[in-house]
Structure 1
Amino acid sequence: MTSNAADGSYGDNLDTAYDLMYAGRPDVATLPSFCRSIGPDASTVLEFGIGNGRLAIPMAESGFHVTGIDTSQSMIDTLRARAGDLPVTAIKADFRNQSTDDVFDLALILTNTLFMLETIDDKRRTLAQARGRLRVNGHLVVETYDPHVYLERPSPFSVTLPLGPSMLLTDTVIVDRLKQMV
């Protein structure tokens, strides 16, 4: 199954497994205090790829007003059900080209969100969208990984992880060394 962040299929296909895929990661607990440390007076956050609220909800519980953009209606529906009365707003849109007219103290592009975009132009447009939505002296937080870790491995390679009693995640990585793409 091929999933694409731009058309929402990534989130729609993974909605039921998403929390299991990221279970135990420390970012849920550490993100609010990290954001508070870089923006002590920050109150508004724009999250690109808000998904089911895995990170937005702890941010809102910590006092931030979170607006997020995602293409997956399934993930947004899950987020809205989970968020209840918390200050979380979800916008269904393709964040490469559209976000919101509001401005924010912080913009977040976390986990693998930037790498779900296929081209360098998509990445540039997304970063420009984030920059354009920040207040003066606002902060952009981009979480990434070191692609050299993958470039040094044989291609393709797969990793299979048990997510539950009847669910496995198989992650296949294809490395194109000439294009320097993973």
Structure 2
Amino acid sequence: MWDQWAPHYNDEHHGRDPGPAADFLASLVGTGGRALELAVGTGRIALPLADRGIPVTGVDVSPAMLDELHRHRGDRAVTTHTGDMADLDTGGERYELVYVAFSSFYFLMTQPRQATCLQQVARSLAPGGNFVIEATIPRAPGLLAGRQQLAIRDLADTHLSLSAITHDPVAQTISFQEIRFDQTGIRLLPVAMRYVHLSELDLLATAAGLDLTHRYADWHRAPLTASSTQHISVYTCAGGTP
């Protein structure tokens, strides 16, 4: 699925400044520390984080997405591995920071796989290290208001972009088809995710040996409120050690 996205991913997310995310994450890594990004994709956060002096290792399931990252890497200290974040194996390496952004944690489609991922994260953290997850907050009205939706994302003289969405509230899964019509034809880009409520995420984290230390509404550390649409959650290993 993500190999289909690779040539278009950066264009689809154009306008989202990665600077605040990179600043936030860099502040959690001490001198000489290293970061591990899960679902690193095209490097939209990993590359600017490396620009701030933090060596980054990135894991992604899509070779094509990693190819896009390497096209833009230059001489930055970013290394990559192809793999599923639920099957994370760092070979005994420990990181001062592990993070997953853009709701990518939701791409693990079952609760057991999400739980396994968090267990692997706990094993990958250096003593005193932090795990950060950025994700949307599932709530109604809006995305979860109905079982099926069709939304116009972009309308111009040259193209039309639509999102077709189906929602299974029992499985907590959402399937998208991002559809673009233009003079060259029709392009379909699929997405599937299993969302996690905050209370569920904290339970999964606790079971993996991770304690919540901070939670914000954005990368600027705004307080989380009932109207927040996303969260930035920071966890450490229970007791301070993996």
TM score, norm. by length of structure 1: 0.84
2:193 counterpart of 1:173: no
Q: 1:4 maps to what in 2?
A: none
Residues 26, 52 of structure 2: 8 Å contact kept: no
Q: Is the 8 A contact 1:47 1:56 kept in 2?
A: yes
CA deviation after TM superposition for structure 1 residue 91, in Å:
0.1
Residues 1-182 of structure 1: pairs in structure 2 closer than 5 A:
9-10=1-2, 12-26=3-17, 28-41=18-31, 43-101=33-91, 102-149=93-140, 150=142, 152-162=144-154, 169-182=161-174
- CA deviation after TM superposition for structure 1 residue 40, in Å: 4.3
2:114 aligned partner, one-letter code: K
Cα distance in 2 between the residues matched to 1:38 and 1:14: 30
Distance 1:167 1:124, change over 3 A: farther
Distance of 1:13 and 1:133 partners within structure 2: 30
Alpha-carbon separation, structure 2, partners of 1:40 and 1:23: 30
Cα RMSD, aligned residues only: 2.2
In 2, the alpha carbon distance for the partners of 1:146 and 1:49 equals: 19
Task: Provide the aligned length of Structure 1 versus Structure 2.
Answer: 172
User: Structure 2 length as normaliser, TM-score?
Assistant: 0.64
Q: Amino acid of the residue matched to residue 65 of structure 2?
A: M
Per-residue CA distance 1:18-76 (angstroms, 9 max, x = gap): 112211123x0101211133344463110000111111100111111000101111111
Residues 89 and 166 of structure 1: CA distance in aligned 2, closer, same or farther (over 3 Å): farther
Moved over 4 A (4+): 163-169
Structure 1 runs not aligned, ≥5 long? 1-8
For residues 58-108 of structure 1, the C-alpha deviation after alignment (integer angstroms, 9 at most, x for no partner) is 011111100010111111111112112110001011221133221111001
Task: State how far apart, in whole Å, the 1-side matches of 2:78 and 2:96 are.
Answer: 15
Q: In structure 2, do the counterparts of structure 1 residues 40 and 168 end up closer, same or farther at CA, with 3 Å as the change threshold?
A: farther
The unaligned stretches of length 5 or more in structure 2 are: 175-242
Q: Which structure shows the bigger proportion of residues in helix conformation?
A: 1
State the distance in 2 between where 1:42 and 1:33 align. 16
- Residue 165 of structure 1: CA displacement? 8.0
